[in-house]
A = this chain, B = another copy of it.
Amino acid sequence: MEFWSSQKLEDEIMKETRNLSLVMDFYELTMSQCYFNLDKNREVVFDLFYRHNPEDGGLCIFAGLEQVIEYVKNLHFEKEEIEYLRSLNQFTDEFLEYLSTVRFTGDIYAIPEGTPVFPYEPLVRVKAPIIEAQLVETALLLALNHQTLIATKARRIVQASDGRAVMEFGARRAHNFDAAIYGARAAYIVGCAGSATTYAGKEYGLPVLGTMAHSFIQSFDSEYDAFLYYAKTYPESCTLLIDTYSTLKSGIKNAIKVAKDYLEPNGYRLKGVRIDSGDMAYLSKKVRKELDAAGLEDCQIVVSNSLDEYVITSLIHQQGAKIDSFGVGENLICSKNSPVFGGVYKLVAIEKDGKIIPKIKISDNVEKVTNPGLKKLYRIIDKETNMAQADLMALWDEELDESKDLTIYHPMSRWKYKVIPAGSYILKELLVPIFIRGEQVYEEPTLDEIRAYCAEQLEYIWEEIKRFEYPQEYYVDLTEKLLTLKLEMLNEYK
Protein backbone atom coordinates (compact mmCIF):
# COMPACT_ATOMS: atom_id res chain seq x y z
CA MET A 1 0.00 0.00 0.00
CA GLU A 2 2.96 2.22 0.59
CA PHE A 3 3.49 2.18 -3.15
CA TRP A 4 0.33 4.09 -3.86
CA SER A 5 0.97 6.65 -1.19
CA SER A 6 3.65 8.34 -3.23
CA GLN A 7 1.93 10.15 -6.08
CA LYS A 8 5.24 11.09 -7.62
CA LEU A 9 6.58 7.56 -7.74
CA GLU A 10 3.31 6.34 -9.18
CA ASP A 11 3.35 8.91 -11.95
CA GLU A 12 6.83 7.90 -12.95
CA ILE A 13 6.13 4.21 -13.01
CA MET A 14 2.95 4.61 -15.00
CA LYS A 15 4.70 6.58 -17.68
CA GLU A 16 6.66 3.57 -18.82
CA THR A 17 3.67 1.66 -20.14
CA ARG A 18 0.32 2.35 -21.69
CA ASN A 19 -2.45 2.61 -19.17
CA LEU A 20 -4.74 -0.12 -20.43
CA SER A 21 -7.25 0.33 -17.62
CA LEU A 22 -9.90 1.62 -20.03
CA VAL A 23 -9.77 -1.50 -22.17
CA MET A 24 -13.17 -2.39 -20.80
CA ASP A 25 -16.64 -2.67 -22.19
CA PHE A 26 -18.42 0.61 -21.67
CA TYR A 27 -21.21 -1.10 -19.77
CA GLU A 28 -18.80 -1.81 -16.92
CA LEU A 29 -18.81 1.93 -16.37
CA THR A 30 -22.53 2.59 -16.85
CA MET A 31 -23.31 -0.24 -14.43
CA SER A 32 -20.67 0.98 -12.00
CA GLN A 33 -22.25 4.38 -11.75
CA CYS A 34 -25.50 2.71 -10.69
CA TYR A 35 -23.64 0.63 -8.11
CA PHE A 36 -21.86 3.74 -6.91
CA ASN A 37 -25.16 5.47 -6.21
CA LEU A 38 -26.69 2.38 -4.67
CA ASP A 39 -24.16 0.56 -2.51
CA LYS A 40 -20.64 0.52 -3.83
CA ASN A 41 -19.24 -1.60 -1.00
CA ARG A 42 -21.43 -4.62 -1.61
CA GLU A 43 -19.31 -7.71 -2.20
CA VAL A 44 -19.98 -10.04 -5.09
CA VAL A 45 -18.38 -13.21 -6.44
CA PHE A 46 -17.75 -13.86 -10.14
CA ASP A 47 -16.48 -17.10 -11.67
CA LEU A 48 -14.55 -17.09 -14.93
CA PHE A 49 -15.02 -20.34 -16.84
CA TYR A 50 -15.57 -21.69 -20.35
CA ARG A 51 -18.00 -24.17 -21.84
CA HIS A 52 -16.33 -25.94 -24.75
CA ASN A 53 -12.83 -27.07 -25.60
CA PRO A 54 -11.67 -25.63 -28.94
CA GLU A 55 -11.62 -28.08 -31.87
CA ASP A 56 -13.66 -30.61 -29.84
CA GLY A 57 -10.50 -31.34 -27.90
CA GLY A 58 -10.39 -32.95 -24.47
CA LEU A 59 -8.70 -30.21 -22.46
CA CYS A 60 -7.28 -26.71 -22.44
CA ILE A 61 -4.13 -25.26 -20.96
CA PHE A 62 -4.77 -22.28 -18.75
CA ALA A 63 -2.55 -19.28 -19.55
CA GLY A 64 -2.48 -15.50 -19.24
CA LEU A 65 -2.57 -15.08 -15.48
CA GLU A 66 0.59 -12.98 -15.37
CA GLN A 67 -1.05 -10.41 -17.62
CA VAL A 68 -4.16 -10.40 -15.45
CA ILE A 69 -2.06 -9.70 -12.38
CA GLU A 70 -0.42 -6.82 -14.19
CA TYR A 71 -3.77 -5.36 -15.23
CA VAL A 72 -5.32 -5.66 -11.78
CA LYS A 73 -2.30 -4.13 -10.05
CA ASN A 74 -2.27 -1.25 -12.50
CA LEU A 75 -6.04 -0.61 -12.56
CA HIS A 76 -6.47 3.12 -12.05
CA PHE A 77 -7.73 6.12 -13.95
CA GLU A 78 -5.55 9.12 -14.47
CA LYS A 79 -6.66 12.61 -15.22
CA GLU A 80 -6.86 12.08 -18.97
CA GLU A 81 -9.09 9.02 -18.60
CA ILE A 82 -11.36 10.82 -16.17
CA GLU A 83 -11.61 13.84 -18.45
CA TYR A 84 -12.45 11.62 -21.37
CA LEU A 85 -15.25 9.98 -19.40
CA ARG A 86 -16.49 13.37 -18.26
CA SER A 87 -16.70 14.48 -21.90
CA LEU A 88 -19.29 11.76 -22.57
CA ASN A 89 -21.84 13.54 -20.34
CA GLN A 90 -23.10 10.35 -18.78
CA PHE A 91 -21.26 10.36 -15.49
CA THR A 92 -21.65 12.53 -12.40
CA ASP A 93 -18.77 14.42 -10.85
CA GLU A 94 -19.12 12.33 -7.69
CA PHE A 95 -18.78 9.09 -9.59
CA LEU A 96 -15.79 10.37 -11.59
CA GLU A 97 -14.16 11.56 -8.39
CA TYR A 98 -14.62 8.09 -6.98
CA LEU A 99 -13.24 6.49 -10.17
CA SER A 100 -10.12 8.61 -9.98
CA THR A 101 -9.27 6.91 -6.67
CA VAL A 102 -10.47 3.39 -7.39
CA ARG A 103 -8.05 0.49 -6.95
CA PHE A 104 -8.72 -3.21 -6.88
CA THR A 105 -9.14 -4.19 -3.21
CA GLY A 106 -10.74 -7.62 -3.50
CA ASP A 107 -9.66 -11.27 -3.52
CA ILE A 108 -8.73 -13.20 -6.64
CA TYR A 109 -8.12 -16.93 -6.68
CA ALA A 110 -6.96 -18.60 -9.85
CA ILE A 111 -5.58 -21.84 -11.24
CA PRO A 112 -1.83 -21.58 -11.87
CA GLU A 113 -0.76 -21.04 -15.48
CA GLY A 114 0.13 -24.18 -17.38
CA THR A 115 -2.53 -26.31 -15.68
CA PRO A 116 -4.73 -28.55 -17.86
CA VAL A 117 -8.29 -27.29 -17.38
CA PHE A 118 -11.77 -28.37 -18.36
CA PRO A 119 -15.17 -26.91 -19.23
CA TYR A 120 -17.36 -25.36 -16.52
CA GLU A 121 -14.79 -25.30 -13.74
CA PRO A 122 -13.89 -21.90 -12.28
CA LEU A 123 -10.50 -20.85 -13.64
CA VAL A 124 -10.58 -17.57 -11.76
CA ARG A 125 -12.78 -16.48 -8.88
CA VAL A 126 -13.11 -12.78 -8.10
CA LYS A 127 -14.62 -11.70 -4.78
CA ALA A 128 -14.66 -7.95 -4.51
CA PRO A 129 -16.77 -4.84 -4.07
CA ILE A 130 -19.19 -4.91 -6.95
CA ILE A 131 -17.70 -2.04 -8.97
CA GLU A 132 -14.17 -3.42 -8.82
CA ALA A 133 -15.34 -6.91 -9.75
CA GLN A 134 -17.08 -5.41 -12.77
CA LEU A 135 -14.26 -3.11 -13.87
CA VAL A 136 -11.78 -5.97 -14.32
CA GLU A 137 -14.16 -8.20 -16.31
CA THR A 138 -13.19 -7.36 -19.88
CA ALA A 139 -9.44 -7.39 -19.34
CA LEU A 140 -9.53 -10.69 -17.44
CA LEU A 141 -11.53 -12.28 -20.20
CA LEU A 142 -9.49 -11.02 -23.10
CA ALA A 143 -6.10 -11.82 -21.60
CA LEU A 144 -7.11 -15.30 -20.44
CA ASN A 145 -9.20 -16.12 -23.50
CA HIS A 146 -6.31 -15.26 -25.77
CA GLN A 147 -3.43 -16.96 -24.04
CA THR A 148 -5.48 -20.03 -23.09
CA LEU A 149 -6.57 -20.34 -26.71
CA ILE A 150 -3.00 -20.23 -28.01
CA ALA A 151 -1.55 -22.45 -25.29
CA THR A 152 -4.27 -25.00 -26.01
CA LYS A 153 -3.60 -24.95 -29.74
CA ALA A 154 0.17 -25.02 -29.36
CA ARG A 155 -0.02 -27.99 -26.98
CA ARG A 156 -1.79 -29.97 -29.67
CA ILE A 157 0.91 -29.10 -32.17
CA VAL A 158 3.67 -30.01 -29.71
CA GLN A 159 1.95 -33.31 -28.97
CA ALA A 160 1.67 -34.12 -32.67
CA SER A 161 5.35 -33.40 -33.15
CA ASP A 162 6.15 -36.32 -30.90
CA GLY A 163 9.36 -35.06 -29.36
CA ARG A 164 10.55 -33.03 -32.35
CA ALA A 165 11.08 -29.33 -31.73
CA VAL A 166 8.27 -26.91 -32.60
CA MET A 167 9.14 -23.27 -33.21
CA GLU A 168 6.54 -20.51 -33.14
CA PHE A 169 6.93 -18.44 -36.32
CA GLY A 170 3.59 -16.62 -36.51
CA ALA A 171 4.13 -12.95 -35.60
CA ARG A 172 3.31 -11.58 -39.05
CA ARG A 173 -0.12 -13.20 -39.05
CA ALA A 174 -0.93 -12.51 -35.41
CA HIS A 175 -3.82 -10.21 -34.53
CA ASN A 176 -1.48 -7.32 -33.84
CA PHE A 177 1.50 -6.78 -31.51
CA ASP A 178 0.10 -8.18 -28.26
CA ALA A 179 -1.12 -11.30 -30.01
CA ALA A 180 2.39 -11.90 -31.37
CA ILE A 181 4.07 -11.29 -28.02
CA TYR A 182 1.68 -13.10 -25.70
CA GLY A 183 1.05 -15.81 -28.27
CA ALA A 184 4.79 -16.58 -28.27
CA ARG A 185 4.67 -16.70 -24.48
CA ALA A 186 1.68 -19.07 -24.43
CA ALA A 187 3.28 -21.34 -27.02
CA TYR A 188 6.46 -21.62 -24.95
CA ILE A 189 4.50 -22.61 -21.83
CA VAL A 190 3.23 -25.77 -23.50
CA GLY A 191 6.59 -26.85 -24.85
CA CYS A 192 7.42 -24.96 -28.02
CA ALA A 193 11.18 -24.72 -28.31
CA GLY A 194 11.13 -20.99 -28.94
CA SER A 195 9.77 -18.22 -31.08
CA ALA A 196 10.87 -15.98 -33.92
CA THR A 197 9.44 -12.95 -32.10
CA THR A 198 12.49 -11.17 -30.74
CA TYR A 199 10.52 -8.98 -28.34
CA ALA A 200 9.15 -12.08 -26.62
CA GLY A 201 12.68 -13.36 -26.23
CA LYS A 202 13.77 -10.19 -24.55
CA GLU A 203 10.67 -9.89 -22.38
CA TYR A 204 10.34 -13.53 -21.31
CA GLY A 205 13.77 -15.03 -21.81
CA LEU A 206 12.47 -17.64 -24.22
CA PRO A 207 14.79 -18.80 -27.03
CA VAL A 208 14.52 -16.77 -30.22
CA LEU A 209 15.14 -18.49 -33.52
CA GLY A 210 15.46 -17.64 -37.15
CA THR A 211 17.94 -17.56 -39.99
CA MET A 212 17.01 -16.04 -43.35
CA ALA A 213 14.16 -15.20 -45.71
CA HIS A 214 13.89 -15.88 -49.43
CA SER A 215 14.68 -12.23 -50.04
CA PHE A 216 18.12 -12.82 -48.52
CA ILE A 217 18.92 -15.47 -51.11
CA GLN A 218 17.49 -13.29 -53.88
CA SER A 219 19.60 -10.33 -52.87
CA PHE A 220 22.77 -12.23 -53.83
CA ASP A 221 23.94 -13.03 -57.34
CA SER A 222 23.51 -16.72 -56.66
CA GLU A 223 22.09 -19.07 -54.04
CA TYR A 224 25.58 -20.46 -53.45
CA ASP A 225 26.95 -16.98 -52.72
CA ALA A 226 24.14 -16.31 -50.26
CA PHE A 227 24.70 -19.61 -48.45
CA LEU A 228 28.44 -19.10 -48.31
CA TYR A 229 28.12 -15.63 -46.92
CA TYR A 230 25.68 -16.77 -44.31
CA ALA A 231 27.91 -19.70 -43.33
CA LYS A 232 30.85 -17.37 -42.91
CA THR A 233 28.81 -15.08 -40.68
CA TYR A 234 27.22 -17.82 -38.57
CA PRO A 235 29.48 -20.87 -38.87
CA GLU A 236 28.33 -22.34 -35.56
CA SER A 237 24.60 -22.13 -36.15
CA CYS A 238 24.24 -22.36 -39.90
CA THR A 239 20.76 -23.35 -41.05
CA LEU A 240 20.12 -22.67 -44.73
CA LEU A 241 16.80 -22.02 -46.48
CA ILE A 242 16.92 -24.28 -49.53
CA ASP A 243 13.66 -23.76 -51.44
CA THR A 244 14.07 -20.31 -53.01
CA TYR A 245 14.74 -21.64 -56.52
CA SER A 246 14.39 -25.43 -56.38
CA THR A 247 14.89 -27.51 -53.24
CA LEU A 248 16.23 -30.56 -55.03
CA LYS A 249 17.81 -29.11 -58.16
CA SER A 250 19.70 -26.32 -56.48
CA GLY A 251 19.01 -25.69 -52.76
CA ILE A 252 20.22 -28.93 -51.21
CA LYS A 253 23.16 -29.12 -53.61
CA ASN A 254 24.38 -25.63 -52.78
CA ALA A 255 23.91 -26.28 -49.06
CA ILE A 256 26.05 -29.41 -49.20
CA LYS A 257 28.61 -27.60 -51.30
CA VAL A 258 28.92 -24.84 -48.69
CA ALA A 259 29.24 -27.47 -45.95
CA LYS A 260 32.10 -29.08 -47.87
CA ASP A 261 33.76 -25.94 -49.29
CA TYR A 262 33.68 -23.82 -46.19
CA LEU A 263 32.19 -25.24 -43.00
CA GLU A 264 34.00 -28.57 -42.75
CA PRO A 265 37.47 -27.27 -43.72
CA ASN A 266 37.05 -24.74 -40.91
CA GLY A 267 35.94 -27.27 -38.33
CA TYR A 268 32.20 -26.59 -38.43
CA ARG A 269 29.15 -28.67 -39.35
CA LEU A 270 26.09 -27.62 -41.32
CA LYS A 271 23.48 -27.39 -38.59
CA GLY A 272 20.34 -27.52 -40.66
CA VAL A 273 18.39 -26.93 -43.83
CA ARG A 274 14.92 -25.43 -43.96
CA ILE A 275 12.22 -26.21 -46.51
CA ASP A 276 9.37 -23.68 -46.70
CA SER A 277 7.34 -24.84 -49.73
CA GLY A 278 6.44 -27.90 -51.76
CA ASP A 279 5.60 -31.40 -50.61
CA MET A 280 7.20 -31.82 -47.21
CA ALA A 281 7.06 -35.61 -47.18
CA TYR A 282 8.63 -36.11 -50.57
CA LEU A 283 11.20 -33.34 -50.25
CA SER A 284 12.30 -34.20 -46.72
CA LYS A 285 12.99 -37.81 -47.65
CA LYS A 286 14.96 -36.83 -50.74
CA VAL A 287 16.90 -34.18 -48.83
CA ARG A 288 17.67 -36.60 -45.98
CA LYS A 289 19.13 -39.05 -48.49
CA GLU A 290 21.34 -36.41 -50.08
CA LEU A 291 22.55 -35.16 -46.71
CA ASP A 292 23.34 -38.66 -45.46
CA ALA A 293 25.11 -39.54 -48.67
CA ALA A 294 27.30 -36.48 -48.15
CA GLY A 295 28.14 -37.52 -44.61
CA LEU A 296 25.88 -34.86 -43.10
CA GLU A 297 23.84 -37.25 -40.93
CA ASP A 298 23.76 -34.70 -38.13
CA CYS A 299 22.30 -31.94 -40.31
CA GLN A 300 18.72 -31.26 -39.21
CA ILE A 301 15.77 -30.80 -41.52
CA VAL A 302 13.40 -28.01 -40.52
CA VAL A 303 10.08 -27.51 -42.33
CA SER A 304 7.67 -24.62 -42.16
CA ASN A 305 4.73 -24.43 -44.57
CA SER A 306 1.13 -24.17 -43.32
CA LEU A 307 1.63 -26.77 -40.63
CA ASP A 308 -0.76 -27.75 -37.89
CA GLU A 309 -1.23 -30.81 -35.65
CA TYR A 310 -3.02 -32.78 -38.36
CA VAL A 311 -0.47 -32.12 -41.09
CA ILE A 312 2.36 -32.89 -38.68
CA THR A 313 0.74 -36.16 -37.53
CA SER A 314 0.29 -37.22 -41.12
CA LEU A 315 3.85 -36.28 -42.10
CA ILE A 316 5.37 -38.23 -39.23
CA HIS A 317 3.08 -41.23 -38.95
CA GLN A 318 1.53 -41.79 -42.34
CA GLN A 319 4.15 -40.46 -44.70
CA GLY A 320 7.44 -41.26 -43.01
CA ALA A 321 8.73 -37.74 -43.56
CA LYS A 322 12.27 -37.13 -42.37
CA ILE A 323 11.81 -34.00 -40.32
CA ASP A 324 13.65 -32.93 -37.20
CA SER A 325 11.77 -29.80 -36.34
CA PHE A 326 8.76 -27.75 -37.32
CA GLY A 327 8.27 -24.01 -37.69
CA VAL A 328 4.58 -23.24 -37.22
CA GLY A 329 3.00 -19.92 -38.08
CA GLU A 330 -0.56 -18.81 -38.70
CA ASN A 331 -2.31 -22.00 -37.66
CA LEU A 332 -0.79 -21.68 -34.20
CA ILE A 333 -0.74 -17.93 -33.63
CA CYS A 334 -4.34 -17.43 -34.82
CA SER A 335 -5.60 -20.85 -33.70
CA LYS A 336 -6.95 -20.88 -37.21
CA ASN A 337 -9.38 -23.81 -36.94
CA SER A 338 -11.00 -22.39 -33.85
CA PRO A 339 -9.98 -18.77 -33.33
CA VAL A 340 -12.41 -17.87 -30.53
CA PHE A 341 -12.07 -18.96 -26.93
CA GLY A 342 -15.38 -18.46 -25.18
CA GLY A 343 -14.46 -17.77 -21.58
CA VAL A 344 -17.26 -16.07 -19.65
CA TYR A 345 -17.51 -14.22 -16.34
CA LYS A 346 -20.63 -14.96 -14.34
CA LEU A 347 -22.05 -13.73 -11.08
CA VAL A 348 -22.26 -16.63 -8.63
CA ALA A 349 -22.85 -14.92 -5.28
CA ILE A 350 -23.69 -11.56 -3.81
CA GLU A 351 -23.57 -10.00 -0.38
CA LYS A 352 -26.86 -9.17 1.27
CA ASP A 353 -27.15 -7.92 4.83
CA GLY A 354 -23.63 -9.11 5.51
CA LYS A 355 -24.18 -12.62 4.14
CA ILE A 356 -22.96 -14.11 0.84
CA ILE A 357 -26.03 -15.33 -1.05
CA PRO A 358 -25.47 -17.78 -3.94
CA LYS A 359 -26.78 -16.66 -7.33
CA ILE A 360 -27.60 -18.78 -10.36
CA LYS A 361 -28.07 -17.85 -14.01
CA ILE A 362 -31.05 -19.72 -15.39
CA SER A 363 -31.34 -20.54 -19.07
CA ASP A 364 -33.61 -22.66 -21.22
CA ASN A 365 -30.36 -24.05 -22.49
CA VAL A 366 -29.25 -26.53 -19.78
CA GLU A 367 -25.56 -26.05 -20.59
CA LYS A 368 -25.84 -22.34 -19.85
CA VAL A 369 -27.06 -22.84 -16.25
CA THR A 370 -24.26 -21.73 -13.91
CA ASN A 371 -22.95 -23.40 -10.76
CA PRO A 372 -23.92 -21.13 -7.87
CA GLY A 373 -22.00 -19.99 -4.83
CA LEU A 374 -18.48 -19.41 -3.61
CA LYS A 375 -16.67 -22.60 -4.56
CA LYS A 376 -13.48 -24.59 -4.23
CA LEU A 377 -12.10 -26.79 -6.98
CA TYR A 378 -10.20 -30.06 -6.56
CA ARG A 379 -8.41 -32.42 -8.87
CA ILE A 380 -8.88 -36.01 -7.76
CA ILE A 381 -5.72 -38.06 -8.27
CA ASP A 382 -6.02 -41.83 -8.19
CA LYS A 383 -3.28 -43.19 -5.91
CA GLU A 384 -2.76 -46.43 -7.80
CA THR A 385 -2.27 -44.97 -11.27
CA ASN A 386 -1.22 -41.46 -10.19
CA MET A 387 -3.61 -40.13 -12.82
CA ALA A 388 -6.30 -37.47 -12.61
CA GLN A 389 -9.72 -39.10 -12.27
CA ALA A 390 -11.99 -36.08 -12.28
CA ASP A 391 -12.24 -32.51 -11.01
CA LEU A 392 -14.66 -31.67 -8.26
CA MET A 393 -16.39 -28.42 -7.36
CA ALA A 394 -17.38 -28.01 -3.73
CA LEU A 395 -18.84 -25.22 -1.67
CA TRP A 396 -16.33 -22.98 0.02
CA ASP A 397 -17.03 -24.20 3.54
CA GLU A 398 -17.11 -27.94 2.82
CA GLU A 399 -14.48 -30.09 4.48
CA LEU A 400 -13.49 -33.04 2.32
CA ASP A 401 -11.69 -35.88 4.06
CA GLU A 402 -9.43 -38.17 2.02
CA SER A 403 -9.85 -40.93 4.60
CA LYS A 404 -13.54 -41.20 3.70
CA ASP A 405 -15.42 -42.37 0.62
CA LEU A 406 -15.98 -39.47 -1.79
CA THR A 407 -19.22 -39.28 -3.77
CA ILE A 408 -19.09 -37.05 -6.85
CA TYR A 409 -22.15 -36.04 -8.89
CA HIS A 410 -22.88 -35.15 -12.49
CA PRO A 411 -23.43 -31.36 -12.57
CA MET A 412 -27.17 -31.71 -13.29
CA SER A 413 -28.29 -35.16 -12.10
CA ARG A 414 -28.55 -36.65 -8.64
CA TRP A 415 -28.82 -40.18 -10.02
CA LYS A 416 -25.53 -39.99 -11.93
CA TYR A 417 -22.83 -40.30 -9.31
CA LYS A 418 -19.68 -42.20 -8.51
CA VAL A 419 -18.19 -43.30 -5.21
CA ILE A 420 -14.42 -43.10 -4.89
CA PRO A 421 -13.23 -45.36 -2.07
CA ALA A 422 -11.55 -43.92 1.01
CA GLY A 423 -7.77 -44.03 0.82
CA SER A 424 -7.67 -44.51 -2.95
CA TYR A 425 -7.40 -40.85 -3.87
CA ILE A 426 -5.64 -37.57 -3.20
CA LEU A 427 -7.32 -34.18 -3.51
CA LYS A 428 -5.33 -31.32 -4.99
CA GLU A 429 -6.83 -27.88 -4.58
CA LEU A 430 -6.57 -26.01 -7.88
CA LEU A 431 -7.57 -22.44 -7.05
CA VAL A 432 -4.78 -20.62 -5.25
CA PRO A 433 -4.86 -17.11 -3.78
CA ILE A 434 -3.50 -14.42 -6.09
CA PHE A 435 -4.79 -11.23 -4.48
CA ILE A 436 -6.12 -10.96 -0.94
CA ARG A 437 -7.76 -7.65 -0.08
CA GLY A 438 -6.10 -6.11 -3.11
CA GLU A 439 -2.59 -7.19 -2.24
CA GLN A 440 -0.76 -9.66 -4.41
CA VAL A 441 0.02 -12.72 -2.30
CA TYR A 442 0.99 -14.97 -5.19
CA GLU A 443 4.64 -15.28 -6.02
CA GLU A 444 4.76 -15.40 -9.78
CA PRO A 445 6.75 -18.28 -11.25
CA THR A 446 9.18 -17.65 -14.09
CA LEU A 447 8.15 -18.69 -17.57
CA ASP A 448 10.48 -21.68 -17.41
CA GLU A 449 8.91 -22.74 -14.13
CA ILE A 450 5.45 -22.47 -15.68
CA ARG A 451 6.64 -24.54 -18.63
CA ALA A 452 8.04 -27.27 -16.37
CA TYR A 453 4.84 -27.20 -14.28
CA CYS A 454 2.72 -27.58 -17.40
CA ALA A 455 4.70 -30.62 -18.56
CA GLU A 456 4.41 -32.14 -15.09
CA GLN A 457 0.66 -31.51 -14.81
CA LEU A 458 0.04 -32.99 -18.25
CA GLU A 459 1.50 -36.26 -16.97
CA TYR A 460 -1.59 -36.66 -14.76
CA ILE A 461 -3.92 -36.58 -17.75
CA TRP A 462 -4.79 -39.81 -19.55
CA GLU A 463 -3.80 -40.07 -23.20
CA GLU A 464 -7.47 -40.76 -23.95
CA ILE A 465 -8.24 -37.17 -22.92
CA LYS A 466 -5.35 -35.72 -24.90
CA ARG A 467 -6.00 -37.34 -28.27
CA PHE A 468 -7.43 -35.18 -31.07
CA GLU A 469 -10.17 -37.45 -32.42
CA TYR A 470 -13.15 -38.02 -30.14
CA PRO A 471 -11.27 -37.62 -26.89
CA GLN A 472 -12.74 -39.16 -23.76
CA GLU A 473 -14.62 -36.56 -21.72
CA TYR A 474 -12.97 -35.56 -18.47
CA TYR A 475 -15.48 -35.25 -15.65
CA VAL A 476 -15.96 -32.04 -13.73
CA ASP A 477 -18.40 -33.05 -11.00
CA LEU A 478 -20.08 -31.55 -7.95
CA THR A 479 -20.25 -32.51 -4.30
CA GLU A 480 -23.67 -33.51 -3.01
CA LYS A 481 -23.96 -30.27 -1.09
CA LEU A 482 -23.26 -28.10 -4.16
CA LEU A 483 -25.58 -30.15 -6.38
CA THR A 484 -28.36 -29.90 -3.78
CA LEU A 485 -27.99 -26.14 -3.62
CA LYS A 486 -28.05 -25.89 -7.41
CA LEU A 487 -31.13 -28.09 -7.83
CA GLU A 488 -32.96 -26.25 -5.05
CA MET A 489 -32.25 -22.92 -6.70
CA LEU A 490 -33.44 -24.25 -10.05
CA ASN A 491 -36.65 -25.52 -8.46
CA GLU A 492 -37.21 -22.19 -6.78
CA TYR A 493 -37.12 -20.43 -10.17
CA LYS A 494 -39.59 -22.93 -11.59
Contact = CB atoms under 8 A, between A and B. Distances in A.
Nearest to A23: B199
Task: Quickly give the copy total for this chain.
Answer: 2
Interface in A7-54: 15-18, 20, 22-31, 33-35, 37-38, 42, 44, 46
A125 interface: no
Contacts of A330: 340, 342
Interface string A325-358: 0000011001110011111011100100000000
A318 interface: no
A146 interface: yes
A362 interface: yes
A217 to B, nearest CB: 10
Contact of A359 (B37, B202, B218): B218
Interface stretch (A167-175, A394-402, A421-429, A451-459): A167-175
A175 to B, nearest CB: 4
B347 A233 contact: no
Contacts of A209: 26
Contacts of A33: 233
Interface residues of A, number: 103
Contact of A171 (B16, B29, B138, B147): B138
A15 to B, nearest CB: 5
State the main secondary structure of chain A at its contact with B: helix
A62 interface: no
Contacts of A198: 22-26, 28-29, 85
Given A237-B90, A330-B340, A210 B175 contact: no
Nearest to A347: B215
A211 interface: yes
A177 B180 contact: no
Nearest to A144: B172
Interface string A354-375: 0000010111110010000000
A419 interface: no
Contact of A212 (B31, B141, B142, B362): B31
Contact of A361 (B35, B211, B218, B364): B218
A245 interface: yes
22 contacts: A15-B16, A22-B202, A25-B172, A26-B201, A27-B210, A27-B213, A30-B234, A31-B213, A33-B233, A35-B219, A138-B171, A139-B177, A141-B173, A142-B172, A142-B177, A142-B179, A149-B175, A173-B341, A175-B178, A176-B182, A215-B347, A331-B340
Given A138-B171, A149-B175, A278-B364, 14 more contacts: A17-B17, A17-B18, A18-B18, A23-B180, A23-B199, A29-B198, A31-B213, A34-B233, A143-B177, A146-B174, A146-B175, A173-B341, A175-B178, A330-B340
